[in-house]
A and B are shown apart, each in its own frame.
Chain A
């Protein structure tokens, strides 16, 4: 028993020390929710810390409290729960992929009145199609921070080794497959392509074959998802992985436990601009040279069978909570974070493309960045930016892809099942 009593006393002491630190100091406290907080690159985390410190220096009346929430699934859940309890943070980072849930459910404050009152702030500075992701009629719910289209990256060194010409804008699925085949070398454990098996990373294959997941109004999947174009797309992907074996299958990917592209073991991959952060810190070979050198990274638009390549645009913007108690201070923060100085620092770190035209165009003097900027107009927002109930669609879609790739369902059956499941889900709304 004595041990127990001692433990209680000890615990209480630790607790008292802990509580003392939480007391505020009279400054306006802004609670800010964001995902991440532990980037793969500590260089990036350092920059973020400096940017936030700088804001507190410039605004001595404001105390920033960052609330990092791990995982995108947890982010949405936690934010919604905060909202029903009216305990949501003053500001949050809005992910285009889940923007509709937040907007449709009135979690966010309309920023249009704040913009109208503020002569310093010009919305024209930002890419219009990026701004529109968080726009509903006259109302605007977030100021874009940065964005990225999904593009095809390729490793020039591996192309040169096999004397394969670099891919060109407007290439077709078959041209892509031929290229990948020539770059695959089982003896070296080298693959032509690294297939990212998550729906945000493969939905563009559907679009580039003239198909889609949901009807144009986003209301239903039957009649769209189960069409022949999509069956073709799935058949193509399955052939690529299972028959041609130019991309590792799911279990092979898992069993290697490394990122094949940064490891120089896959010649191509589809990814966003953020991937560059990882490329810069690619693992080194025995001689100390990076397995993927930055000058070898090429960028091209996604292969397409419909003439004009389409891709998806993932974006993050700063939004203010509807119940925010200090909208003026929060707005100052939004302006700071999306303003030219901060944007330039972020953009140079390579995570994403600045949503500001001036900053992005400045960086686009680099030819690789220029390719990115050229792809921007062909990028469309993700379904999650338009459809509030999109969350389950991703789970269902992923199920579908897995059952096709493992062969547990025929392609037609998988598409039909997924379509009816999605509609059933929408029906419950």
Chain B
């Protein structure tokens, strides 16, 4: 019995590790290439170069590494990209942080409020309105960009934070997600609160939301990454350098360096991704544990 469990665990871990290697390999490569000398060719993975020798049992051995591991680590690539004379990368970063935090918070509140009503309250037109939310998700983006742009313009919001924030404050996807989640919460829990005289707002805030940490974390993470990496809307809605977000600001790199400077391209890519990664690593505990807390026994 114990032996089979050990074998099974070993198999599970092997699977988990292989999958992790498969998923992580491109990132590791990206990091390595970003540290190669600017303008150097794409380093090969199959060419092994000698990096030095070591003595072992009285004999000299050479040790080799694939060419992809840089010989000299060019951290100056990062300095070069971060402090380009006419790209205020740090400003881009602050813009991205501010916009993303406000949009995510707004989206979670607005969407979950509506979702609560769709899941639990009864009112005339509830289902048709919900269907409207669903339908809006199915409409292809490129065309509504023009009307949305004109609407934002008519409010005089172009090139302001309002233009970057307000159109993202609610998301039909999240309304859908929260509704599905709220629907799976047993009604007994809120019935108890209702008997204690709690109103809907109180039930929403004190019962539903605390029970929905998993959904909040999930939806929050989804929106965080969606907003952080949005490219077209910030490009359209802002004009000046000071209002650009990181994704738009650094996309310049793809255009300037094309396919001929992989090291700097990858440096830029790492710079855009690093904050995402850090934000994720800080929230992931809440995120993965949140799933657990959300379980209703």
Interface residues of A (CB under 8 A from B): 1, 4, 7-8, 10-12, 14-15, 18-19, 21-22, 31, 33, 36-40, 42, 45-46, 48-49, 65-71, 74, 78, 81-82, 84-85, 87, 89, 253-259, 262-263, 281, 283
13 A-B pairs besides A40-B257, A42-B84 with CB distance below 8 A are A4-B105, A11-B97, A19-B161, A38-B252, A38-B256, A40-B256, A45-B84, A49-B85, A66-B240, A257-B259, A258-B260, A258-B261, A283-B37
With A38-B84, A70-B252, A258-B260 known as contacts, the answer to whether A8 contacts B102 (CB < 8 A) is yes
Q: Is the CB of A7 within 8 A of B101?
A: yes
Is B98's CB within 8 Å of the partner chain A?
Answer: yes
Query: CB-CB < 8 A to A31: which residues of B?
Result: 239-240
Q: Is the CB of B241 within 8 A of A67?
A: yes
Bound-complex Cα distance A14 to B41 (A): 41
Q: Is the CB of A11 within 8 A of B102?
A: yes
Bound-complex Cα distance A140 to B5 (A): 82
Q: Is the CB of A85 within 8 A of B252?
A: no
Q: What 0/1 readout, one digit per residue, does chain B (257-294) give for beta carbons within 8 Å of chain A?
A: 10111100000000000000000000000000000000
Q: Is the CB of B251 within 8 A of A4?
A: no
Query: CB-CB < 8 A to B41: which residues of A?
Result: 256-258, 263
Query: CB-CB < 8 A to A22: which residues of B?
Result: 160, 242
Query: CB-CB < 8 A to A19: which residues of B?
Result: 161
Query: CB-CB < 8 A to B254: which residues of A?
Result: 70
CB distance from B109 to the nearest CB of A (A): 8
Number of A-B pairs, beta carbon distance below 8 Å:
120
Question: Which of B133-141, B146-154, B193-201 lies at the binding interface?
Answer: B146-154
Can you offer 24 A-B residue contacts whose CB atoms are under 8 A?
A1-B210, A7-B101, A12-B102, A15-B102, A18-B161, A22-B160, A31-B239, A36-B256, A37-B252, A38-B87, A48-B86, A65-B240, A71-B251, A71-B255, A81-B146, A81-B149, A84-B146, A85-B149, A85-B150, A87-B239, A256-B42, A257-B42, A257-B262, A262-B39
Q: Is the CB of A78 within 8 A of B235?
A: yes
Is B166's CB within 8 Å of the partner chain A?
Answer: no
Is B28's CB within 8 Å of the partner chain A?
Answer: no
Interface size class of B (residues with CB under 8 A): 35 or more
Query: CB-CB < 8 A to B40: which residues of A?
Result: 258, 283
With A18-B98, A258-B39, A283-B39 known as contacts, the answer to whether A66 contacts B235 (CB < 8 A) is no
Q: Give the nearest-CB partner of B161 in chain A.
A: A15
Interface residues of B (CB under 8 A from A): 37-42, 80, 84-87, 94-95, 97-98, 101-102, 105, 108, 146, 149-150, 153, 158, 160-161, 205, 209-210, 235-236, 239-242, 248, 251-257, 259-262
Bound-complex Cα distance A8 to B220 (A): 14
Bound-complex Cα distance A36 to B254 (A): 11
Q: Is the CB of B101 within 8 A of A70?
A: no
Query: CB-CB < 8 A to A14: which residues of B?
Result: 94, 97-98
Query: CB-CB < 8 A to B260: which residues of A?
Result: 257-259
Query: CB-CB < 8 A to B240: which residues of A?
Result: 31, 65-67
Bound-complex Cα distance A237 to B37 (A): 34
Q: Is the CB of A49 within 8 A of B86?
A: yes
Q: Is the CB of B101 within 8 A of A11?
A: yes
Q: Is the CB of A74 within 8 A of B235?
A: yes
Q: Is the CB of A45 within 8 A of B102?
A: no
Q: Is the CB of A87 within 8 A of B153?
A: yes
Bound-complex Cα distance A183 to B149 (A): 54
Q: Is the CB of B95 within 8 A of A18?
A: yes
CB distance from B100 to the nearest CB of A (A): 9
Q: Is the CB of B236 within 8 A of A81?
A: yes
Query: CB-CB < 8 A to B150: which residues of A?
Result: 84-85
Q: Is the CB of B242 within 8 A of A21?
A: yes
Give the top 4 A-B pairs by smallest Cβ distance, nearest first: A257-B42, A259-B260, A283-B39, A11-B101
Query: CB-CB < 8 A to A283: which residues of B?
Result: 37-40
CB distance from A69 to the nearest CB of B (A): 8
Q: Give the nearest-CB partner of B37 in chain A.
A: A283
Query: CB-CB < 8 A to A7: which residues of B?
Result: 101, 105
Q: Is the CB of A85 within 8 A of B86?
A: no
Q: Give the nearest-CB partner of B42 in chain A.
A: A257
Query: CB-CB < 8 A to B95: which residues of A?
Result: 18
Q: Give the nearest-CB partner of B153 in chain A.
A: A85
Bound-complex Cα distance A134 to B150 (A): 29
Q: Give the nearest-CB partner of A65 in chain B.
A: B240
CB distance from B241 to the nearest CB of A (A): 6
Bound-complex Cα distance A7 to B252 (A): 30
Bound-complex Cα distance A257 to B94 (A): 32
Q: Is the CB of B241 within 8 A of A70?
A: no
Bound-complex Cα distance A87 to B160 (A): 13
Q: Is the CB of B105 within 8 A of A39?
A: no
